[in-house]
A and B are shown apart, each in its own frame.
Chain A
Amino acid sequence: MEEADEMVTPGEVLGKATDLKAGKGAYAASHNNTIYASLTGFRRIQAPPPASNDKRPTVEVTGHKAHGPVPEPGSVVIARVTKVMARTASADIMCVGPKSVREKFTGIIRQQDVRATEIDKVDMHLSFRPGDIVRAVVLSLGDARAYYLSTAKNELGVVSAESSAGATMVPISWTEMQCPLTGQIELRKVAKVVN
């Protein structure tokens, strides 16, 4: 931090595009080569990375609240499965990254996106049950109804599920979870535990 942080609001001029680059919470207007703030917060100047050809420092606006998280392609999300059908499973996205979303966004996991191998042999009903909590990655913005989600990686899939007896099950393999009360084994697309 090279200078005292100054509070700015959307539309306030942060500098000239010839001297600075626009970072987070800032934008450059092409018609007058001016950089403006787009959020309320503190004006901060970041020195350019040493290796960079562009010697302009970056100006950003940080520190005040930004809007709640919105899923984007590549985001890791936590979702609750709401409906399982022959070719797709629907899930409500509850968290994007580590942040919870205020309401919910609808996602779907299609049969071909459940796991990486033998994708044509996936049985949706043996992968997810309504109520399961899954970790998934957003493939694309999807269609008007839902985001397309994928669990086709080791660390993705069911992270928490209740057995039919109502207990939280323990993962015992890539495809199985066990009820601690009854010992019954249920089939799931289980996520590898990350430590």
Chain B
Amino acid sequence: MCFFPLFRSKENRLTMGLPNASGDLSTEVEVDAFRRLFPLRFYEKHLLESIRPDARPLGRARETTIALALAKIGSTTMLAAIKMEVMTPSLETPDEGCIAIDFHMPPICSPIVRPGRPAEGAPVVAKQLSDTILSSGMINLKELSLVSGKAAWMAYLDIYCLDADGALFDTALLSAVAAFSHLEIPVVSLNDDGKIVLSEEQGLSDREPVNKEKRKINLSSVPFSLTCVLHKNYILADPTAEEESIMDTIVTVVLDSSSQLVSLHKPGGTVLAYTSAIQDCIALTRQRVKELQKILEEGISGMEVD
């Protein structure tokens, strides 16, 4: 797989004229410097006009693409991969496999991550991903069983953030869903030592495989999410990293493909959201789910044509 089509050059950011700054500073410094010094004033000037510095209306998400298990929302980029290994199922659930989910923010993805130190916020996203994927019912763990009580799949799902520019959870979840939709499970057999091995490589093609019918995982009720930031009475969908850092109240809504609520996450923040604001976030997410479903379907069918 090659990822280059997704690494397009930086978007041309449309900026409005310089907002009127206080005092003499506005004439002295460039627009980006003003934005750096007075970020909130810079944003509020834009919000009054119902437009964001990247020329988006408040409720619109950034351009979103999926190629294999690489998801991109704006410049936020996530790469997911699943490695299937074999385990002995636990006594309580002899007919179930397991999914282990890990989220990584390597130092390449952001100026605030340094080698050797876990990225701030990464464990929160990891926990949210794990909770969402396992509780959404997207994957029936029984489908991961190979030999009852003896062997089952352990699916290691690793998600890497390659470029962090806000809405990390949304992009990570999208890449995880894409990775599961592309997952192809190899045909395996039980060898003489009681181990599960690849049928072809071990010359066991004549032996009855243990997972003849289970080469793909059925995804039911796929979860999709939208993160919004709240500031005063404004709701900004799909925030950039800058927007997340300036306006600290974040609401993440996860809905499944039939628009049922999977989870709602509002980790504090200075804005106390009224129910109407929460309802608006859910409405925005409902629209977004339709967009994401289409993008995901196109991503899958596009790959099958190749």
Contact = CB atoms under 8 A, between A and B. Distances in A.
A binds B: yes
Interface string A160-182: 10000000100100000000000
A53 interface: no
B18 interface: no
Contact of B25 (A102, A103, A133): A133
A100 B22 contact: no
A52 interface: no
B33 A94 contact: yes
Q: Is the interface of A mostly helix, strand, loop or mixed?
A: strand
A185 B32 CA distance: 31
Contact of A160 (B23, B33, B35, B36): B23
A176 B36 CA distance: 26
B88 to A, nearest CB: 49
A168 B37 contact: no
A132 to B, nearest CB: 12
Contacts of B32: 99-100
A44 interface: no
Interface residues of A, number: 18
B121 interface: no
19 contacts: A78-B33, A80-B37, A94-B36, A94-B37, A95-B33, A95-B37, A98-B30, A99-B30, A100-B30, A100-B33, A100-B35, A159-B23, A160-B23, A160-B37, A168-B22, A168-B23, A193-B23, A193-B24, A195-B24
Given A95-B37, A160-B22, 13 more contacts: A78-B25, A80-B37, A94-B37, A95-B33, A98-B28, A98-B29, A99-B30, A100-B32, A103-B111, A160-B25, A193-B23, A193-B24, A194-B24
